[in-house]
Amino acid sequence: MFLSRIAILEKDKCQPKKCNYACIEYCPGVRMEEDTIIISEDDKKPEISEELCSGCGICVNRCVFNAINIINLPEVLDDKPIHRYGPNSFELFGMPTIEDGSVVGLLGPNGIGKSTILNILSGQIIPNFGNYNEEGSWDNVIEYFKGSQLQNYFKKLSNNEIKIAYKPQMVDQLPKVVKGKVSQLLEGVDERNKLDEVVEKLELKNTLDRRLGNLSGGELQRIAIAASVLKDANFYYIDEPTSWLDVKQRLNTVEVIRDLTKENRNVLVIEHDLATLDAMSDYVHVMYGEEGGYGVVSKLRGVRVGINAYINGFLKEENIRIRKQPIEFEIRPPSDLIDSDTITTYTDFHKKYDNFELKVDAGEVNQSQVITAFGPNGIGKTTYAKILAGVVKPDSGEVEEEIEIAYKPQYILSDFEGSVQDFLFMHAKGYGTNVFKTDISKPFDLDKILDKQVSKLSGGELQRLATAVTLSQDADVYLLDEPTAFLDVEQRLKVAKAIKHLITRDDTSAIIIDHDIIFIDYISDKAMVFYGESGVSGHSTAPIHLRDAMNKFLSDVDISFRRDKETNRPRVNKTDSYLDRQQKEQGEYYYLED
């Protein structure tokens, strides 16, 4: 039977011994002697009957631990779910379409079933179609998808006739699973005899003789991608391949993955960088729903149409609005940048290590402006941040030390013993005030993770927490190193809006190091370009207008972008296309004026 609503109980939050089952006590259905909420015999926690639930929301409001959520499902969901984990647990509706010789992207928020889809397609989960009390059966799966491409897929999968290559999201765990040198790993999986070609395209030559435990996040990411695409598989499942990669490396990854389609191989990719997803995919499925509650896979769309539908927040064919307002990208010429008072200045400065040196041109930081810093990895961006934050001293030059700087580093430690609420109480300035709730807690969705242990947070949750705590501090400049890592598109834009609001409200400034072109375009007032030889020497410009900075950076890496005519979002031009040649001839690598 199709349900009009689902009830979600987050068991990690639920503490019936402390609330004495307030949800049961105040439930109108229970008071009418119906079994709307009962106590589970397994774990002694509440179990809500979705058939009897009226959706009044009283249990939601009475739960002091925010463990209950009653979700009304869209009317268009007139079919049974593909999979449900258990009573009052997450539910997935729909599955992606498999297109031979194509890259299909999954685009949507975190926590709405993308990983569940990969687990189903890889055979780690057998769909139960909502019957969580019964073990899933391949016969039922094959019968359910009868007449579709997925019927043949699951039939072969159940008979072990399909070979799958999988690139996981958390590549920082790779050294814990695989030991030895990079060359040993890649040689051992090179079933396509493409080792030299992939190593060259992903710029891995300098890592081959190194051990996995001594590599950076960006290096581990490229090695994980290489290890996946070198396998001789029928289907490749790639989960978030761009974290920690710079723009050039992201587009190198696009090329390596696109090469798989030339051999008529199938690729499904999860990616939150819209510019990379656009360049990588032939088609996309937009996913919508509610985090931790349910997820829905939309119809298959061409990549441009699908991304634009996601940005506009409306799926025309399904007649579903997935966002109240569209995401708007503005084209801001230099004359639109308003002059503001200077917060701090710094002279030319220089820092030299044994194997690397950085030179930075003199610059200034102004009130109510966001300055982004971008360039290749290993070029000195993090060193610049540490010098500005006072963590590292320059060998020559002066950085004003009178100002207060709040600094979020690139790599975040999660060894804090305690809950998120404990962490906020100890480290967040103004925690508990209405201003904190409105300007920080709400846009960063901190209420959803308050009771979680910091040590058990996902990469995205940890990133949101660290950035939120940094922004809560009293500071003149907020220095954020890769705040978008592991965040989905919605979260990245929420972070951008929160940062802009806070620095405008307080006449402060933010300097943000990041690689996501869409995020950079959305948030920047000025930008700094880092260039040089990766791992050897780096040089940074002063903060300049975004368009000038982008033209310099993109000309160095020989990539051009255009603006989408419908949404104004940046899109990568295909190399040597008419528009690519035209823009490069005019020196406009970022976009042409209409």
How are beta strands 294-302 and 570-572 bridged, if at all? Answer: unpaired
Tens of pLDDT along 452-467? 888 888 888 899 999 9
Parts of the chain belonging to CATH 3.30.70.20: 5-72
pLDDT at 332: 58
What average pLDDT does range 149-174 have in this prediction? 88
AA letter at 14: C
The answer to whether 117 and 83 have CB atoms below 8 angstroms apart is: no
> Is the pLDDT confidence value at 45 over 80?
yes
- At 84 the three-state DSSP class reads strand
Of the candidate ranges 51-55, 199-203, 349-353, the one whose mean pLDDT is the lowest? 51-55
pLDDT at 322: 87
Give the H or E element holding residue 521: helix 517-523
Tens of pLDDT along 558-580? 889 888 888 888 888 888 899 99
Report the distance separating Cα 241 and Cα 226, nearest Å. Answer: 11
- Bridge-partner residues for 544, per DSSP? 527
Report the distance separating Cα 477 and Cα 344, nearest Å. Answer: 9
Report the distance separating Cα 123 and Cα 114, nearest Å. Answer: 14
Report the distance separating Cα 590 and Cα 520, nearest Å. Answer: 12
- Going by pLDDT thresholds of 50, 70 and 90, the confidence category of residue 75 is low
- At 499 the three-state DSSP class reads helix
Distance (Å) of CA 242 to CA 204, 225, 307: 15, 10, 18
> Is the pLDDT confidence value at 266 over 90?
yes
Of the CATH numbers 3.40.50.300, 3.30.70.20, 3.40.50.1370, 3.40.1390.10, which one belongs to the domain with range 5-72?
Answer: 3.30.70.20
**CATH code for the domain defined by 342-557:** 3.40.50.300
Tens of pLDDT along 357-377? 999 999 999 999 999 998 888
Strands (E), 228-376: 235-239, 266-270, 283-290, 294-302, 314-315, 320-321, 342-346, 349-352, 357-360, 363-366, 369-374
Inter-helix orientation angle 217-229/182-189, to 10°: 20
> Is the pLDDT confidence value at 414 over 80?
no
What average pLDDT does range 233-261 have in this prediction? 91
- Closest Cα to residue 547, out of 589, 506, 505? 589
Burial class of residue 200 in the structure, from the number of CB atoms within 10 Å of its CB (0-12 exposed, 13-18 middle, 19+ buried): exposed
Of the candidate ranges 53-57, 160-164, 419-423, 583-587, the one whose mean pLDDT is the lowest? 53-57
Count of positions (residues) in the chain: 594
Tens of pLDDT along 496-543? 999 999 999 999 999 999 988 888 888 999 999 998 888 889 999 999
- Going by pLDDT thresholds of 50, 70 and 90, the confidence category of residue 331 is low
What average pLDDT does range 269-275 have in this prediction? 91
What tokens does 292 get? 């931790």
What tokens does 534 get? 């990766």
- Going by pLDDT thresholds of 50, 70 and 90, the confidence category of residue 439 is very high
Angle value at C-alpha 468, between 466 and 473, nearest 5 degrees? 100
Q: What is the DSSP letter of 288?
A: E
Tens of pLDDT along 190-227? 999 999 999 999 999 888 988 888 787 788 899 999 99
- At 80 the three-state DSSP class reads coil
Tens of pLDDT along 57-70? 899 989 988 888 88
- Bridge-partner residues for 38, per DSSP? 47
pLDDT at 352: 92
> Is the pLDDT confidence value at 238 over 50?
yes
- Closest Cα to residue 413, out of 59, 197, 584, 172? 172
* Ramachandran region, residue 136 (left: φ > 0; alpha: ψ -120 to 50; beta: rest): beta
AA letter at 299: K
List all residues 6 or more positions away from 208 whose beta carbon is below 8 Å from its beta carbon.
181, 182, 183, 186, 199
Distance (Å) of CA 560 to CA 208, 552, 572, 578: 31, 11, 6, 11
Percent of the chain with pLDDT over 70: 96
pLDDT at 390: 83
- Closest Cα to residue 231, out of 184, 178, 192? 192
| 505 vs 378, more confident | 505
List all residues 6 or more positions away from 416 whose beta carbon is below 8 Å from its beta carbon.
422, 423, 454, 455
Report the distance separating Cα 536 and Cα 2, nearest Å. Answer: 61
Q: What's the chain's Rg over C-alpha atoms?
A: 25
- Bridge-partner residues for 451, per DSSP? none
AA letter at 479: L
Distance (Å) of CA 435 to CA 425, 444, 461, 473, 522: 15, 13, 21, 13, 25
- For residue 115, the tally of other CB atoms under 10 A from its CB is 16
> Is the pLDDT confidence value at 392 over 60?
yes
Report the distance separating Cα 211 and Cα 209, nearest Å. Answer: 7
The owner of tokens 């359910």 is 144
- For residue 334, the tally of other CB atoms under 10 A from its CB is 10
Burial class of residue 393 in the structure, from the number of CB atoms within 10 Å of its CB (0-12 exposed, 13-18 middle, 19+ buried): exposed
Distance (Å) of CA 337 to CA 333, 340, 369, 477, 545: 8, 9, 9, 19, 8
> Is the pLDDT confidence value at 333 over 70?
no
Parts of the chain belonging to CATH 3.40.50.300: 342-557
- H helices of 297-371, in order, are 303-312
Inter-helix orientation angle 247-261/546-557, to 10°: 50
pLDDT at 1: 41
The owner of tokens 């948030």 is 523
Per-chain mean pLDDT for the chain: 88
Angle value at C-alpha 418, between 414 and 419, nearest 5 degrees? 95
Give the H or E element holding residue 91: strand 91-93
- Going by pLDDT thresholds of 50, 70 and 90, the confidence category of residue 165 is very high
- Going by pLDDT thresholds of 50, 70 and 90, the confidence category of residue 335 is very low
- At 86 the three-state DSSP class reads coil
Buried b (16+ CB within 10 A) or exposed e, 152-173: ebbbebbeeebebbbbbbebbe
Report the distance separating Cα 103 and Cα 277, nearest Å. Answer: 10
pLDDT at 302: 94
